[in-house]
Structure 1
């Protein structure tokens, strides 16, 4: 499908940080009306209705059935361990690719991690990757991920059952459901669906994926990881089933001294490319079609925590993390057990809310589809600050899309 001729790009007033948001809104590009949240198109609503909570539940339970998916667990057992999970994920994604008309390809992206923190011996780490090639601007890339490895209380325990339903079979289930639904469509730009390994041991799989994309010169214009998106219930029992948190850093992890000087000169601490990406998510996915409120958290991640978006941030790519509104640590990174008071511990599927996870998938789908259909990020955006005036002069390089109507400063 050719992108709509009414597409527009919104250029922020802090353009010195090369910050842009792309949108497929229907307002006049050259008008002066205030920017409002985009209403989902009929096509997008139809796409979102295809996301199935039953399939998300089935994927989650299937991943749990492998006993443990610890990065250091067995890789050659067909029924147990991370190797069995890897092979099942690859087969599932290949079944979706079969419906794509050749547009989707699936690969096992592997490397051997030499001994390192939480990796005591040389270990093969494998990401399962599906790439849906764009039909118009295939060099423009968006990435969505979840991690399929799991753990218990002792991060080095590779043999005990580690169901990892919420952390992070839920995120992988989102990725697979997105791949299934989008495989039958023709996005203008490329979407990469990634189930990565090695997250619990130190973000190893995601770091390798980001490294490979960087080495290939990939134009990654946005990356989202879904990590712990399976439950809407907090540890005190309160529920918030219609909110998803989106973590977005301010000062870029990859900022150079020159970029820092520019940021300080224009007061751009709140205007990183990642934060503008997060605002875009809120603009296109916080609505009745997804059934969700997107709560942008202006931090890289939760306190003392990290996720698979960080290696992308470190390589200069805009990247953000989806996580449920409030976590229950009794069902995360825990040995499966019942204590003396009868309380069940462990990351088990009975503590997941699959309707909630389906709504998270719709937020992702609305975002990725809109980004993929929109014009690309303009390059060379900056503020001219050579003179002290009451006006702000912005310059950028116009995109090459033939149907690009113009830019709106917000």
Structure 2
């Protein structure tokens, strides 16, 4: 198996793993036949093509060019929006495609005012449209210097692979209808401090979204570790224990009634593991009981 095909293989399988969780959360009555059809519909070639397109924008740094159609974060997010719209056209305008933006300034990595723009596509549920399961991937990239917005930072793995997985999930799942809604999101400003995620979270609060779960795809194409070992049959799923917003009373209840392993995040991670075991037998989920490394 060539290195290129290894990347295709892992990207394919990880996109499926996250898509399964979203599907089951939004459509508990999905048949076994539907699940296997969805597995078969995912295309590694399309995922690779999306990654190559994203890499072609040179840099996707949050502070980079926004007016050009061929380079920078602006061109990248407009292409993602166009892809969501094209997918929507193919399914009879089944997706609601829009952007959620906010101005960020006064931070170490964004000292001056910058508009941070997320791209969102929602496949509305037929029975409970305000209940969402969200799959996200960050759009932006950077080099070692987080303030260098000019140098090329192609970000094929970090995080073109994750964003490509989101786009492919939208392509496949848009051909089905579910009880609850599924959101497909491209987040900006991740490398500068998770800014896009904060902006989307505030938007969700303002709009009263009822969010069941968020699955974030980050570097899903990486198959070779720093030790040089290559492994394309294992996927890491990170999950937190104690919630960041846990109150003192909630902490006391948790200590009495259940530990960190009982957290909502870890229950979701175990469900991803179960779905992978059931539908992708050649993919092993490695449970990592902590948050992923910071940007």
In 2, distance between residues paired with 1:25 and 1:89?
31
Matches within 5 A, 1:8-407: 24=28, 41-289=32-280, 291-301=282-292, 305-306=293-294
What TM-score do you get using the length of structure 2 for normalisation?
Answer: 0.87
CA RMSD of aligned residues (A): 1.9
Contact 2:27 2:179 in 1 (8 A): no
Contact 1:287 1:293 in 2 (8 A): no
In 2, distance between residues paired with 1:212 and 1:198?
16
In 2, distance between residues paired with 1:102 and 1:165?
30
Contact 1:71 1:201 in 2 (8 A): yes
Contact 2:36 2:279 in 1 (8 A): no
Counterpart secondary structure, 1:249: coil
In 1, distance between residues paired with 2:56 and 2:136?
21
C-alpha displacement at 1:24, in angstroms?
4.6
Contact 1:147 1:172 in 2 (8 A): yes
Higher relative contact order (CA 8 A, sep 6+): 1
CA deviation vs aligned residue, 1:300-345 (integer Å, no higher than 9, x gap): 22xxx237xxxxxxxxxxxxxxxxxxxxxxxxxxxxxxxxxxxxxx
C-alpha displacement at 1:25, in angstroms?
8.6
CA deviation vs aligned residue, 1:367-387 (integer Å, no higher than 9, x gap): xxxxxxxxxxxxxxxxxxxxx
C-alpha displacement at 1:117, in angstroms?
2.3
In 2, distance between residues paired with 1:71 and 1:184?
32
The 10-residue stretch of structure 1 (229-238 or 256-265) with the greater mean CA deviation from structure 2: 229-238
In 2, distance between residues paired with 1:130 and 1:223?
14
Counterpart secondary structure, 2:96: strand
C-alpha displacement at 1:215, in angstroms?
2.4
Change (3 A) 1:187 1:24: closer
Counterpart secondary structure, 1:200: coil
Counterpart secondary structure, 1:202: coil
User: Which residue in 1 is equivalent to 2:3?
Assistant: none
* Structure of larger gyration radius: 1
C-alpha displacement at 1:289, in angstroms?
3.3
In 1, distance between residues paired with 2:257 and 2:29?
29
In 2, distance between residues paired with 1:22 and 1:286?
20
Contact 2:26 2:132 in 1 (8 A): no
C-alpha displacement at 1:23, in angstroms?
9.1
C-alpha displacement at 1:283, in angstroms?
1.4
Contact 2:26 2:182 in 1 (8 A): no
Contact 1:45 1:289 in 2 (8 A): no
Which of structure 1's runs of 4+ aligned residues deviate more than 3 A? 21-26, 287-291
In 2, distance between residues paired with 1:58 and 1:267?
45
What TM-score do you get using the length of structure 1 for normalisation?
Answer: 0.63
Contact 2:163 2:217 in 1 (8 A): yes
